[in-house]
Structure formats: C-alpha cells, structure tokens
Amino acid sequence: MNKFSPNERKVEISSIFKWFKPDFDKAGGVPRILGRYAPQSVREFAASGKYDIKYLSYNWGLNDQGPHGRNYSRANLLFDNIFK
C-alpha cells in the first residue's frame, strides 16, 4: 500500500515503481501516475513531485499464484524489509 505524507514531504510507494521506472517514465513519470491514482485528498501533493521517495518491499503474497507468493506471510514481508 502506498503512503503519502505531505507534511513530511515524502511518499512511500511500491518497489514496482522502481523496477519498472522506464515504463512509468514513458507514461509521464511517477508523479503524474501518482497524481492520477492517489487518494483524492493527496492527489495535488502526489502530482507535484516535491517529495522524497522511499520504496517499500513488495508483498509477493499479493500475487498468490506462484510458488513464491503462495506461502508468503507477514513474517516473510518483515524479513524482506530488513534484508532488502
């Protein structure tokens, strides 16, 4: 889940935005995408691009179809966050 903190001038977004940066750049850049799809209350902030970005570890359990995601637990997510 992406997190927006306007008062702290930071966003925490999925690692997918880092892994596929060239694709997002072709679509106008991460701020443009975030400005379009962020919650309404933070869209203007998200579109501004005036923030630091932290990339969150990807929760492989969201895609529960493959062997890696099938048994992916909160403990696995915590482990991945510690040892990225």
Cβ pair 34, 13 in contact under 8 A: yes
Instruction: Give me the number of domains the chain comprises.
Output: 1
Whole-model pTM above 0.85? no
Q: Mind giving me the DSSP string for the chain?
A: --EEEGGGTEEEEETHHHHTHHHHHHTT-HHHHHHHHS-GGGHHHHHH--SEEEEEPP-GGGSTTSHHHHT--HHHHHHHHH--
Q: State residue 76's pLDDT score.
A: 72
Print the domain residue range for 17. Answer: 3-82
Tell me what pLDDT residue 68 has.
59
> Which pLDDT band, with edges at 50, 70 and 90, does 50 fall under?
very high
Q: What pLDDT band is residue 72 in, cutting at 50, 70 and 90?
A: low
Check residue 37 and give its pLDDT.
Answer: 94
